[in-house]
Amino acid sequence: MDFSDTPQEAEYRARARDFLDAHKDKLPSLSGSEAARLKKQRIWQAIKADNGYACITWDSEWGGAGGTAMERVIFREEEAGRGVPDAFFGIGLGLCVPTIIKYASDKQKAELVRPAVRGDQIWCQLFSEPAAGSDLAGVRAKAVADGDEWVVSGQKVWTSGAHYSDWGLVITRTDPSKPKHKGLTMFFVAMDSPGIEIRPIHQMSGGVEFNEVFFNDVRIPDAQRLGEIDAGWGVAIYALMNERVQGGKERGIPAGETIRLARSTPVADGTLADDGAFRAAFADWYVRTRGVQLTRYRTLTAMSRGQTPGPEASIGKLVTAFELQEMSRRLVEAQGPFGLIDDRAMAFCEGNVHHDLLHAPGIRIAGGTDEILRNIIAERVLGLPKEPQPDKNVPFSETK
Amino acid sequence: MNFDFSEDQEMLRKEVRKFLEARCPLTRARKVLDDSEASFDVELWEELVGQGWTALSIPEQFGGLGMSRTDLCVLAEELGRVLAPVPFASTVYILAEALMIAGDGVQKDKLAEIAAGDCIGCIAISEGPGEPSFERIGSRVERGRLTGTKQPVTDGLAATDALVWARDESGTPRLFLVPLEQDGVTREKLDTLDPSRDAARIVFDGAAAEPIGAPWLLDRLLDGAAVLLAFEQVGGADRAMEQAVAYAKERYAFGRPVGSYQAIKHTLADAYVNNQIARSNAYYGIWALDSGSDDLAQAAAAARVAACHAYWFAAREALHAHGGIGFTWEADQHLFYRRALQLDMVIGSPRMWRERLFEQVEAQGEKMKAEAS
Ligand SMILES: Cc1cc2nc3c(=O)[nH]c(=O)nc-3n(C[C@H](O)[C@H](O)[C@H](O)COP(=O)(O)OP(=O)(O)OC[C@H]3O[C@@H](n4cnc5c(N)ncnc54)[C@H](O)[C@@H]3O)c2cc1C
């Protein structure tokens, strides 16, 4: 049991710090318009790729650095410590491109992987539909074979980043006469293909980060099919498994800052930091968020011993999203009526806590809702009975 | 970073689990629970001593095996799983630690007795309602003689020696080492929520007492005990959850296993999450303890807060998932329910530890800020 860096890790951390210090003026931040932030992140991503800090765990063949998962975490810790957001490339590099590496042809990989690693090309995930979210196997967007092409029509929704993406991973229904999981096929598609129409969706948090994506007879070459025809469910599972391993980033303001904020918040007789109810709630919040971090180090240790992380990695987001929501509310609420003001110029922490409060509901939904994550833990870790699925073995065309 | 037990420690766990499964089924805890005379399972205690477990973390020069506290917490987790009704924590996590940290030459001789199973410890802090505090402590030592009443003292009947928190002549609260088999000590069994564990009222009336360590020793001991007890709690919480999972797979209602209903399924998933959170905090705690990190106070408080929450949740909900059966004396669920409460309060309740955690995080935040500027 050793929590400190090994000599190699310490050396890696020192090198990462030197690298970050040497590129101080190139580090992206959270401020500015989406376009401005994206531009800066792209430049930064390319610098990282040139120096072996992009996709640290991937083979050099793919533009990675052949490093360990621990090195990836160390670099990210140092990067995050300097305020660099983890934005724009997460879905592509965490989920889509690993799927390309597993399922695409060598020629396609040679063309697609490096530009994604460098941030020159961005990927989005076209899975969810109006009638298929948690129950992803319910997708209806249909793909019909036509020579060596497929013609796709239907609607995707909640597609994060579709509006700045070059490529998308899209799951379609190819055989509605088969049961729902058995008639799906996965493709990748150029987002500028004729017939793709992207409409922004305004989020409750005020941002416009996701979209509806309409497919109006979009032609996709059969060569862009990933996996066998009607075997797309397995491909989707593979993609989502990668998402889980990635997941669980730090969110919200750090513990020390939370207390300082509480110290500066007046309540009836003293400050919020003197209030017993707040102190107790803080302690519970602290052990849970810290517990998630520490659990991730256990996972890393398991990986460094050659084990594959299982579904237990699901606990991260389940805990942190809810804790973020409740702690932000607590901090904001303690301000009294003044807490309602979320003008960044007036609100504490430049309004970041208010922003978290409005953002947290989305985190509890995206990438598997709280309930779905609990199902996963209950079924796959504890071995409890699976949810009843009355439509599982019924031809999809006959389901509701 | 190597944030898990080593292969050797996993081997140790395997052996310990095998031994305890054979020698300490839950009927052992139940026997103490049902027997109004028994304070602990003497036979089991002797077997544990025979295995060298009380000697494990004591340095070889004092007759021990010289293994680490991380090895010790492997035992703690396994003892927690089987609800071992023995004064192990009081003796090994607390008295032995006190002697190792602060004992003078003669006091340290007791370590060999602990290793050999001849000395059993207890720590006497609480006197009445409320968390033990500087202001309320009434016991005092004058010219080497202790007067005062402590209650409840876990393992107070079984113990041969007590660490007693009392004021010295200057009025400063500190720990005193008090042999319990002497005139001036009266002990009486107390009824508690967990009769599978020994608890006593001890009245000291001019008992011989010698100071041990500086006044800060108590905090340091509680931190260490918090970490090791967190492993007992994680062990108990996991076992309680596993029993409920097994039952929920077999018990049918409305034509389906009750474990297929989300109200049950999700609650058990939450128990799993809590247990993992507690386990991870406990790992950090044991690392801080074993490596002598400055972070110990914070790590220990976090380990304890997480473990108390996890065990209470798991024991409470595991009992509930069993329905009416779970409410019977014969079923095992109340053993966990009771032990969760015992461990919740024994070294100060989570309420006190949340306070400690807040103070530690705040102090550390300020320290980091000062270093940065
Ligand atoms: C910010 C954000 C970004 C997103 N980005 C993307 C993206 O880039 N690409 C993409 O494909 N999708 C994306 N999504 C979609 C996301 O994956 C889905 O919203 C999510 O899976 C839930 O599906 P749904 O919205 O259809 O809700 P539903 O599945 O309809 O769920 C409604 C409610 O029912 C509950 N529920 C559903 N099934 C069960 C069950 N079996 N047991 C118990 N409760 C259940 C849910 O927990 C939820 O509370 C994003 C969503 C958000 C919020």
Tokens of A320: 């942190």
Helix (H, G, I), strand (E, B) or coil at A222: helix
Q: What is the CATH number of the domain that holds B191?
A: 2.40.110.10
Q: What is the CATH number of the domain that holds B22?
A: 1.10.540.10
Nearest partner of B79 among B314, B262, B239, judged by Cα? B239
Instruction: Give the pLDDT confidence score for residue A308 in this predicted structure.
Output: 82
From the alpha carbon of A371, which atom of ligand 1 is closest?
47
Q: Which residue reads 């340290």 in tokens?
A: B108
Q: What is the CATH number of the domain that holds B316?
A: 1.20.140.10
For residues B75 and B108, is the Cβ–Cβ distance under 8 A?
A: no
Q: How many helices (H) and strands (E) does chain A have?
A: 12, 10
Judgement on whether residues B103 and B145 belong to the same structural domain of the protein: no
pLDDT in tens, B341-363: 999 999 999 999 999 999 999 99
Q: DSSP code of B2? A: B
Interface mutation vs chain B, best among A278, A286, A389, most B CBs within 10 Å: A286
pLDDT above 70 for A249:
no
pLDDT in tens, A266-312: 998 899 999 999 999 999 999 999 999 999 999 999 988 988 877 77
Instruction: Give the pLDDT confidence score for residue A250 in this predicted structure.
Output: 65
Work out the average pLDDT over B178-201: 97
Judgement on whether residues B204 and B222 belong to the same structural domain of the protein: no
Contact state of B3 with A385 under an 8 Å Cβ cutoff? no
Which residues of chain B have a CB within 8 Å of the CB of A375? 262, 265-266, 269
For B230, phi then psi, to 5°, come to: -60, -35
Residue among A88, A99, A124, A128 whose CB has most ligand 1 atoms within 8 A, to mutate = A128
DSSP letters for B245-295? HHHHHH-EETTEEGGGSHHHHHHHHHHHHHHHHHHHHHHHHHHHHHHT-TT
Nearest partner of B271 among B238, B246, B243, judged by Cα? B238
Straight-line distance from the first to the last Cα atom of chain B, in angstroms, rounded to the nearest whole number: 28
pLDDT above 50 for B23:
yes
Contact state of A384 with B362 under an 8 Å Cβ cutoff? no
Please count the structural domains in chain B: 3
Over chain A, what is the mean pLDDT?
Answer: 94
Q: Decide which of B115, B143, B165 is a domain's last residue.
A: B115
From the alpha carbon of A162, which atom of ligand 1 is closest?
8
Which uninterrupted H or E stretch holds A358? helix A352-365
B373 touching A (Cβ < 8 Å): no
Measure A158 CA to ligand 1 centroid, in angstroms: 9
Sorted by where each begins, the domain ranges of chain A are 7-88, 123-235, 248-381
Judgement on whether residues B273 and B338 belong to the same structural domain of the protein: yes
Judgement on whether residues B357 and B225 belong to the same structural domain of the protein: yes
Measure A134 CA to ligand 1 centroid, in angstroms: 5
| Dist. CA B16–CA B53, nearest whole Å | 10
Contact state of A378 with B265 under an 8 Å Cβ cutoff? yes
| Dist. CA A61–CA A59, nearest whole Å | 5
B357 touching A (Cβ < 8 Å): yes
Q: Decide which of B211, B229, B258 is a domain's last residue.
A: B211
Strand partners, B123: B163
Integer-rounded Cα Rg, in Å, for chain B is 21
**Total-model pTM:** 0.96
Contact state of B4 with A301 under an 8 Å Cβ cutoff? yes
B351 touching A (Cβ < 8 Å): yes
| Dist. CA A191–CA A159, nearest whole Å | 12
Which residues of chain B have a CB within 8 Å of the CB of A290? 281, 284, 302
Query: Which residue intervals of chain B are DSSP H helices?
Result: 7-23, 26-34, 42-50, 69-81, 88, 96-102, 105-116, 217-250, 262-291, 296-321, 333-345, 350-372
Instruction: Give the pLDDT confidence score for residue B288 in this predicted structure.
Output: 98
Measure B326 CA to ligand 1 centroid, in angstroms: 36
CA dihedral A90, A91, A97, A98 (to 10 degrees): 80
From the alpha carbon of A362, which atom of ligand 1 is closest?
53
Instruction: Give the pLDDT confidence score for residue B373 in this predicted structure.
Output: 80
Q: Catalytic annotation on A243?
A: yes
Give domain status of residue B1, yes or no.
no
What does the angle CA A327 – CA A331 – CA A337 come to, to the nearest 5 degrees? 135
pLDDT above 90 for A115:
yes
Give domain status of residue B362, yes or no.
yes
Work out the average pLDDT over A13-27: 97
Using left for φ > 0, alpha for ψ between -120 and 50, and beta otherwise, residue B52 falls in left
Beta-carbon contacts of residue B7 (< 8 Å; ≥ 6 apart):
none
For residues B60 and B281, is the Cβ–Cβ distance under 8 A?
A: no
Over chain B, what is the mean pLDDT?
Answer: 97
Judgement on whether residues B224 and B351 belong to the same structural domain of the protein: yes
pLDDT-derived band at A157 (thresholds 50, 70, 90) equals very high
pLDDT in tens, B55-110: 999 999 999 999 999 999 999 999 999 999 999 999 999 999 999 999 999 999 99
Tokens of A357: 């409060």
| Dist. CA B317–CA B308, nearest whole Å | 14
| Dist. CA A399–CA B247, nearest whole Å | 34
| Dist. CA B80–CA B340, nearest whole Å | 10
Give domain status of residue B150, yes or no.
yes
For residues A11 and A75, is the Cβ–Cβ distance under 8 A?
A: no
A340 touching B (Cβ < 8 Å): no
Judgement on whether residues B101 and B151 belong to the same structural domain of the protein: no
ipTM of the complex: 0.96
Judgement on whether residues B74 and B148 belong to the same structural domain of the protein: no
CATH topology of domain A248-381: Butyryl-CoA Dehydrogenase, subunit A; domain 3 (1.20.140)
| Dist. CA A317–CA A308, nearest whole Å | 19
For residues B210 and B198, is the Cβ–Cβ distance under 8 A?
A: no
For A152, phi then psi, to 5°, come to: -110, 130
Inter-CA distances, A89 with A41, A125, A167, A178, Å: 9, 11, 12, 35
Q: Does the structural domain A123-235 have CATH classification 3.90.1660.10?
A: no
Please say whether the dihedral angle defined by the alpha carbons of residues A3, A6, A12 and A14, taken in this order, is positive or negative. positive
Domain region containing B127: 121-211
Nearest-Cα distance to chain B for A167, in Å, is: 36
Helix (H, G, I), strand (E, B) or coil at A189: strand
Give domain status of residue B2, yes or no.
no
Nearest-Cα distance to chain A for B340, in Å, is: 18
B145-154 vs B140-142, strand pairing mode: antiparallel
Q: Decide which of B151, B177, B211 is a domain's last residue.
A: B211
Instruction: Give the pLDDT confidence score for residue A247 in this predicted structure.
Output: 47
Judgement on whether residues B273 and B363 belong to the same structural domain of the protein: yes
Percent of chain B with pLDDT over 70: 100
* Nearest protein CA to atom 13 of ligand 1, as residue: A158
- Measured between CB atoms, which of A9, A259, A287 is closest to B306? A287
A158 touching B (Cβ < 8 Å): no
Nearest-Cα distance to chain A for B281, in Å, is: 6
